[in-house]
Chains A and B, each alone.
Chain A
Amino acid sequence: MSAPTTTDTTAPERGRGLGDRIRFWWNNLPRPQQWAIGVPAVIVIALLPVIKPPIISTTAVDFGGMMAQFAMIALIAIGLNVVVGQTGLLDLGYVGFYAVGAYVVALFTSPASPVWNSADHGFFSGPWAWLACVPLAIVLTGVTGVILGTPTLRLRGDYLAIVTLGFGEIVRLLADNLTDVTNGAAGLQNVLFPEVGKSAQNPDGVFSSGNNSGTLNFGVWWFWLGLVLVIAVLFFVGNLERSRVGRSWIAIREDEDVAEIMGVPTFRFKLWAFVIGAGIGGLSGALYAGQVQYVDPKGFTVINSMLFLCAVVVGGQGNKLGVIVGAFIIVYLPARVQGIQVGDQSLGDFKYLFFGVALVALMIFRPQGMFPARARLLAYGRQVYAAVTTPVRARRAGTAGVEAKS
């Protein structure tokens, strides 16, 4: 009997960082325990802006609003992770998709929209207008992904990077200059939002920007909505990752030529990665448009694309939970520093200076990101995974016995 050559992926990998220890611990828990720990953990995260822990919470920026922004950037990081982390395509113009998503919602629901009068269009006006626009934003942004991807995905590496960077700028410039369509630099005001939970105190519902005082302000509500979407998208992306699609992406990332030779239709799967990534970016944009209730081109500059990429790389490319931590860092650090006063100098001025230093330092001391993805077996379900990996361990443990007997 020959020795099993499969790498034992469930072996504890000591000394490989916090992320691996957590992962090992988590993978070895039985499913009921995972639920028993996971659900309260999510609830604690959801309640953070309500509890406002003293040292953690931001002082100069509303903590709820910051968390809402974090949820949006987390969505973006998950979407960009599909493109950059899993498929290995360097996209420097991801902000373009974010912009398209935001503009779709704004164009359909803002009274300032030059192309669409939202006053009497049934579905696109009134309390459910925002929700009706969300699928539209996802689909149209996905289409934008096809439009960008079809001609450019034949390019490789850094050429793709500069072309996508150009695309991101083109989207912003179009939004800025096509005044007849997008209202130009003036932007689109009064974007609609889900009008639920109306009360005497909040005549427009809890998601309205009028609900800006107290513990449960609109930022907290948007954060909760965002958190629900993040979890939904995580399930979606997680399932994709373990399917044929996800395996193709990883094959493309590791070596595109080999993948093509082994029968992976690389172009088609690269395009899928682009479209799915774009769709998630569009969803995040829709969330942004609803929360801020105002969309203008200034929010969609190249710098934002860079920040999104930082979230992915800092968190650990390819690890969808890691990139959420990355998203938290890029939103939280600048916001936290903002409220600190040293002498008569507000450290808020230096927030991007610190951020830059932190980026450089992190890349030097932990170039793979905080929670890097590890190579592992990608199977359809947990049972399959366990069935495939357990015998390996059992066999390995029993090898000595077998040899002794023979």
Chain B
Amino acid sequence: MHALADGLVLASTVDFDLRSLYDGFWTLTVEGLTYGAIYALVAVGYTLVYGVLKLINFAHSEVFMVGMFGQYVALLLLGFTPSGNAYAEGTAMTLVYLVIACLFGMAVSGLTAVGLERVAYRPLRKRGAKPLTFLITAIGMSFVLQEFVHYVLPKFGGDPPLGGSTAQPGIRLVEQKKLFELFDASVFNLTLIIIGSALVLTFLADTLINRTKLGRGIRSVAQDPEAATLMGVSRERVIMLTFLIGGLLAGAAALLYTLRVPTGIVYNGGFILGIKAFSAAVLGGIGNIRGALLGGLLLGVMENYGSVVFGNQWKDVVAFVLLILVLMIRPTGILGEKLTRARV
């Protein structure tokens, strides 16, 4: 009887609002795609590393977080100051600044990812450690990076200091402007920049993996590290490049994310996003770049629908339940693990 009462209470707590989903369908879709594109970019980093090393690189969310700080520092160096208003520099100059910040963020993230591999994972590989050992190391590095930004970075000064326990005041580089309407959803310049760049970058990564010599090396190591080594592929170099590519994309994702959420730059700001991105990678089929893109977009859109139907506080629950449901039906994700499969 008690359980029944619980059930009734449950039903009264969760609202079920299909009407607003119907009313705002296109707006929600566009918004969901925006977040989904960012998830997808981060997810590619997880998926590549997993494909090659069979390792859940938990510290990848911190690589993303460091990228947010990287692009922020770049903007500060360029002379921008945090303010509530957006800068109006004209389209051309804005784009130039964006690209500079993006490259800086990418460089910081990429270097962090490669450094992570060198400092933490390579010694383990040399010793032939078990997967769980890698996972604990990843958790350890995640603590180190977060706490470095949390407590050590503020010691270097700055006004307001970089890092620390509060979020950096946002720099709004791009003024949000409505460009056109898609069905009844307004499409803003930010939306286009985010979705467009994410798609282009994912496409580039996919081409790199599937169409180039370097990509063939990565795929061969993913498929059979020993045979690949015998065929003259340098395994260490491939692993380093895999981390580098993942890190670069995470840095780009960091810039796109801060465009959307300028006040999200904080030491633990990458954590939940990282978990979502990893879920997205699994959802689409981990080890598979197209899967990461599909999973990211799907997760972004579905959780946005869910946040309207059930209420905003249930957004993350919707994302995880979706993940569990999809894995029930397709245990290796929607597109399956494909990076490891042979391709001519």
**A interface residues (Cβ-Cβ under 8 A, vs B):** 84, 90, 114-116, 151-152, 154-156, 158-159, 161-163, 165-167, 169-170, 173-174, 176-181, 302, 306, 309-310, 313-314, 317, 349-350, 352-353, 355-360, 363-364, 367-368
Do A178 and B320 contact each other (CB < 8 Å), given the known contacts A165-B275, A363-B133?
Answer: no
B311: chain A residues at CB < 8 Å are: 177
Whether the pair B147, A356 counts as a contact (CB closer than 8 A) is yes
Bound CA span A116–B2, Å: 9
- Give chain A residues whose Cβ lies under 8 Å from the Cβ of B278: 162
In the bound complex, how far is the Cα of B196 from the Cα of A203, in angstroms?
67
Chain A, Cβ-Cβ closest to B146? A352
Q: Is the CB of A363 within 8 A of B5?
A: no
In the complex, per-residue mask of B135-148: 1 if CB is within 8 Å of any chain A CB, else 0 = 11101111110111
Interface centre among A167, A356, A363 (most CB of B within 10 A): A363
- Give the chain B neighbours of A114 by CB distance below 8 A: 9
> Which of B84-92, B123-131, B186-194 faces chain A?
B123-131
Of residues 299 through 344 on chain B, the ones whose CB sits less than 8 Å from some CB of chain A are: 311, 313-314, 316-317, 319-321, 323-324, 327-328, 331-332
A92 → chain B closest CB, angstroms: 9
Within 8 A of A (CB), among B1-56: 2, 5-6, 9-10, 12-13, 50, 54, 56
- Within 8 Å of chain A (Cβ to Cβ): is B279? yes
Between A and B, 30 residue pairs with Cβ closer than 8 Å are: A84-B132, A115-B5, A152-B327, A154-B331, A159-B327, A161-B56, A162-B279, A165-B275, A166-B321, A177-B313, A178-B9, A179-B13, A180-B9, A181-B10, A302-B275, A310-B136, A350-B147, A350-B152, A353-B143, A353-B148, A353-B151, A355-B143, A356-B139, A360-B120, A360-B137, A363-B124, A363-B136, A364-B120, A364-B124, A364-B137
* A359 with B331, Cβ < 8 A, contacts A178-B10, A367-B130 known: no
B60 CB to nearest chain A CB (Å): 13
Cβ-defined contact, B133 with A367, below 8 A: yes
From B58, B142, B331, A155 is in contact (CB under 8 Å) with B331
Whether A363 contacts B331 in the complex (CB less than 8 A), given A313-B136, A356-B141, comes out as: no
Q: Which residue of A lies closest to B5 (CB)?
A: A115
Please give, as numbers and ranges, the residues of chain A lying within 8 Å of B286 by CB-CB distance. Answer: 158
CB neighbours (8 Å) of A166 from chain B are 279, 319-321, 323-324
A306 to B127 Cα, complex, angstroms: 23
Q: With CB as the reference atom, state the residue of chain A lying closest to B333.
A: A159
Residues of A within 8 A of B141 (CB): 356, 360
The one of B6, B129, B151, B323 in contact with A181, judged by C-beta atoms closer than 8 angstroms, is B6
In angstroms, how far is the closest chain B Cβ from the Cβ of A111? 18
Contact with A along B70-112 (1 / 0, CB 8 A): 0000000000000000000000000000000000000000000
Whether B279 pairs with A353 at a CB distance below 8 angstroms is: no
Is B162 close to A, CB under 8 A? no
Q: Are the C-beta atoms of A155 and B327 separated by less than 8 Å?
A: yes
Q: Are A363 and B327 in contact (CB under 8 A)?
A: no
Which residue of the partner chain, among B127, B144, B323, contacts A162 with CB atoms under 8 Å?
B323
Q: How far is the CA of A355 from the CA of B150 in the complex (A)?
A: 14
How far apart sit A163 and B144, CA to CA, in the bound complex (Å)? 25
Chain A residues with Cβ below 8 Å from B142 are: 356
A176 partner residues in chain B, CB cutoff 8 A? 313
In the complex, residue of chain B having the shortest beta-carbon distance to the beta carbon of A350: B151
A165 to B277, CA, bound (A): 13
**Top 6 A-B pairs, shortest CB-CB distance:** A356-B143, A359-B140, A166-B320, A356-B144, A353-B147, A367-B129
B282 at the interface (CB under 8 A from A): yes
CB-defined contacts of B123 to chain A, threshold 8 Å: 364
Flag if A177 contacts B144 (CB, 8 Å): no
